[in-house]
């Protein structure tokens, strides 16, 4: 039997982000005072400390800032995925997100490569925003 | 740094810094590390190795570094451990080929780039100069301190490839000590990963970005080298006692208590007067630097 993967940590701060994912939309917090887009979600704007926030929808396009190729499953649930790529993706709107690079050979991954969101159906109607090489 | 504060304020006379852990036989260290980025576990991102691997990969993109550079650090530090009977890796030499054959953990890191898990502990007592004079052992003096904690959350940090907090912390410590970088005889660097040693020495200014590989050639940090680094074997090859591994080694070197690995005629190095040490936390999120000298 395969072990279940850890679910996302959903709390008052992150709920809006994961609600968006259910509808296959990448939604980020935007500060209503200074316009800064932030991720991970937080109660206050890290730039101006304002708590006035709106959610904005991102295009899903971005570039790989960095990536790491896992050859060891720190959680046995990921054993069957080895080797897999964890990537930091800079979205064109600004926020940086931790995710996976999928549909890409580890040897072909590169910092700066253009990527787009690739929705991965998770459990209980939850969709995980992963990324694949743009136009693939 | 807090110890110095409470001593200066006269709140206490002696401060004991200690660390003890069954990191190897127990599972608490692995659980703590896996919990470091619990928010990202949904994407299979766990622990310190993954976080530092992201920083190291970005560094490979921004300047010339990679396994060839880190090999010089892993192999170099192992030579020190081979002189240290307390080191976990005392009887395990490491050749360049051993490093190349070491399995990937989270690429670009091989197993040989990762520090150890250790059962054991270390302790160090800090007091005022006046009190230290009356004690049995020759004291070691803190000449300078610096601290810089640039990022609360590693992922959105804009400069994952540096400069890390080491840049400002190092400058602060040198200024307080009133010395130049060239006055430093040895370094004891917090080395959770080989790359941490490179980025710390680079941010301290011992070499420019991407010049580490050239700087490390010819055994610079090894016994007999021009700047010995991690002379116990460090966290990579001696034992993992967090920041206490570099701290206690720096102190013991200046006290002359290091046996076969004692810097001086035995190792072909200058007998040290000044040693620069580091500690860092999170994924390069916090950094402390301190400079020690003979009392
Ligand atoms: Zn704001």
Token duo for residue B208? 């420019």
What is residue B35's predicted lDDT score, i.e. its pLDDT?
65
Q: A39: CA distance to ligand 1 center in Å?
A: 13
Per-residue pLDDT of chain B (295 residues; tens, 9 = 90+): 778 888 888 889 998 888 888 888 777 776 777 666 667 889 999 878 999 999 999 999 999 999 999 999 999 999 999 999 999 999 999 999 999 999 999 999 999 999 998 888 899 999 999 999 899 999 999 999 999 988 766 665 677 888 999 999 999 999 999 999 999 999 999 999 999 999 999 999 999 999 999 999 999 999 999 999 999 999 999 999 889 999 999 999 999 999 999 999 999 999 999 999 999 988 888 899 999 999 8
CB contact under 8 Å between A40 and B155, yes or no, is: yes
Distance CA B245, CA B202 (A): 21
Domains present along chain B, CATH in parentheses? 2-294 (3.40.47.10)
- Secondary structure class of B231 (helix, strand, coil): coil
CA atoms within 13 A on the CB side of B82: 13
Chain A residue with Cα closest to B107:
A69
* Residue A34 near residue A53, CB atoms below 8 Å: no
Q: So what's the pLDDT on residue B36?
A: 62
| Cβ neighbours for B209, distance < 8 A, ≥ 6 positions apart | B62, B63, B162, B202
Q: CA B57, A136, A70: angle at the middle one, nearest 5?
A: 30
Among B19, B52, B99, B190, the active-site one is: B190
Query: Which of B185, B203, B169 has the alpha carbon at shortest distance from B275?
Result: B185
- The pLDDT assigned to B56 comes to 96
Cβ-based neighbours of A6, under 8 Å, separated by 6 or more: A75, A77, B38, B41, B42
Peptide bond into A40 cis (omega under 30): yes
What confidence score (pLDDT) does residue A8 get?
Answer: 86
**Tens digit of each residue's pLDDT (9 = 90 or more) over A46-90:** 889 999 999 999 999 999 999 999 999 988 899 999 999 999 999
Comparing alpha-carbon positions, the chain A residue that sits nearest to B44 is: A78
Radius of gyration of chain B (CA): 18
What is the CA(A42)–ligand 1 centre distance, in A?
11
Its ipTM equals: 0.94
Measured in angstroms, the CA of B155 and the nearest CA of chain A are apart by 7
A111 vs B contacts (CB less than 8 Å): 57-58, 60-61
Domains delineated in chain A: 9-57 (no CATH), 59-136 (2.40.50.840)
State how far the alpha carbon of B268 is from the alpha carbons of B150, B260, B261, B263, B294, in Å: 38, 11, 10, 7, 20
Structure confidence at residue A1 (pLDDT): 44
Of A39, A74, A100, the CB nearest to B43: A100
By the CB < 8 Å criterion, does B45 face chain A? yes
How far A52 CA lies from chain B's nearest CA (Å)?
A: 21
Residues on chain A touching B44 (C-beta within 8 angstroms) = 5, 70, 73-75, 78, 81, 84, 86, 100
> Which residue in the set B38, B105, B107 is minimally distant from A9, CB to CB?
B38
Question: What token pair was written down for A9?
Answer: 């940590």
B31 Cβ neighbours under 8 A, 6+ residues apart? none
| Total-model pTM | 0.93
Q: Is A119 on the interface with B (CB under 8 A)?
A: no
Q: With both helix axes pointing from N to C terminus, report the angle between B194-204 and B67-81 in degrees, rounded to the nearest 10.
A: 100
Counting residues of chain A whose pLDDT is more than 70, the rounded percentage is 98
The DSSP letter of residue B43 is G
- B105–A71 C-beta distance less than 8 A: yes
Distance from CA of B145 to the nearest CA of A (A): 28
CA of A27 to the centre of ligand 1 (A): 17
Q: Enumerate the β-bridge partners of residue A132.
A: A116
Cβ–Cβ gap B54/A67 under 8 Å: yes
- B190 among known catalytic residues: yes
B42, A96: Cβ pair inside 8 Å?
A: no
Integer Cα distance of B151 and B33 in angstroms: 18
Which residues 10-69 of A are in CB contact (within 8 Å) with B? 14, 38-40, 65-69
**Between B87 and A135, residue with greater pLDDT:** B87
Give B57's contacts in chain A (Cβ within 8 Å). 66-68, 111
Interchain contact, A96 vs B55, CB within 8 Å:
no
Instruction: Please say whether the beta carbons of B104 and B110 come within 8 A.
Output: yes
pLDDT of A135 strictly over 90 = no
Torsions phi, psi of A117, nearest 5?
-65, 140
Write out chain A in H/E/C secondary structure. Answer: CCCCCCCCCCCCCCHHHHHHHHCCCEEEEEECCCCCEECCCCCCCCCCCCCCEEEEEECCEEEEEEEEEECCCCCHHHHHHCCEEEEEEEECCCCEEEEEECCCCHHHCCCCCEEEEEEEECCCCCEEEEEEECCC
Task: Note whether A86 contacts B50, CB cutoff 8 Å.
Answer: yes
Terminal-residue alpha carbon distance, chain A? 32
Helix axes B47-62, B194-204, angle to 10 degrees: 50
pLDDT of residue B155: 60
Q: Which of B39, B46, B61 sits opposite A9 (nearest CB)?
A: B39
What is the mean predicted confidence (pLDDT) over A94-111?
95
Chain B residues in contact with A128 by the CB 8 A cut-off are 42-43
């Amino acid at each position: 039997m395969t072990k279940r993967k850890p679910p996302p940590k959903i709390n008052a701060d992150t709920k809006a982000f994961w609600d968006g994912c259910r509808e296959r939309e990448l939604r980020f917090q935007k500060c209503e005072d200074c316009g800064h887009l932030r991720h991970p979600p937080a109660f206050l704007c890290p730039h101006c400390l304002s708590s006035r926030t709106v959610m904005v929808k991102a295009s899903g396009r971005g570039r790989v800032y960095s990536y790491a190729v896992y050859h060891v499953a720190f959680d046995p649930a990921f054993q069957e995925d080895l080797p897999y790529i964890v990537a930091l993706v800079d979205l064109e709107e600004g926020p940086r997100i931790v995710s996976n690079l999928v549909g890409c050979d580890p040897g072909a991954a590169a910092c700066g490569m253009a990527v787009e969101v690739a929705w991965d159906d998770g459990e209980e109607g939850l969709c995980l925003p992963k990324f694949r090489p743009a136009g693939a | 740094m807090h110890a110095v504060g409470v001593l200066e304020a006269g709140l206490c006379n002696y401060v004991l810094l200690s660390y003890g852990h069954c990191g190897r036989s127990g599972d608490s260290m692995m659980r703590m590390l896996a919990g470091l980025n619990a928010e990202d576990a949904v994407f299979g991102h766990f622990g310190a190795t993954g976080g530092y691997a992201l920083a190291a990969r970005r560094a490979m993109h921004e300047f010339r570094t990679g396994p060839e550079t880190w090999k010089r650090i892993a192999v170099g530090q192992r030579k020190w451990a081979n002189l240290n009977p307390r080191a976990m890796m005392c009887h395990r030499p490491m050749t360049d080929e051993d490093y190349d054959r070491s399995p990937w953990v989270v690429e670009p890191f091989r197993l040989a780039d990762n520090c150890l898990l250790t059962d054991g502990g270390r302790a160090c007592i800090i007091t005022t100069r006046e009190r230290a004079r009356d004690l049995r052992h020759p004291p070691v003096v803190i000449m300078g301190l610096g601290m810089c904690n640039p990022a609360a959350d590693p992922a959105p940090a804009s400069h994952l490839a540096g400069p890390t907090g080491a840049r400002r912390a190092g400058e602060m410590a040198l200024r307080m000590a009133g010395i130049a970088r060239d006055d430093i005889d040895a370094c004891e660097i917090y080395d959770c990963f080989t790359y941490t040693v490179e980025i710390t020495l680079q941010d301290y200014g011992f070499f420019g970005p991407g010049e580490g590989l050239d700087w490390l050639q010819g055994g610079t940090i090894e016994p007999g080298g021009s700047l010995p680094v991690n002379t116990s074997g460090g966290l990579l090859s001696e034992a993992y006692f967090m920041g206490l591994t570099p701290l206690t080694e720096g102190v013991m070197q200046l006290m002359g208590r290091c046996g076969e690995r004692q810097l001086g005629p035995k190792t072909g190095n200058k007998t040290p007067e000044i040693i620069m040490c580091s500690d860092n936390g999170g994924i390069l999120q916090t950094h402390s630097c301190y400079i020690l000298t003979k009392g």
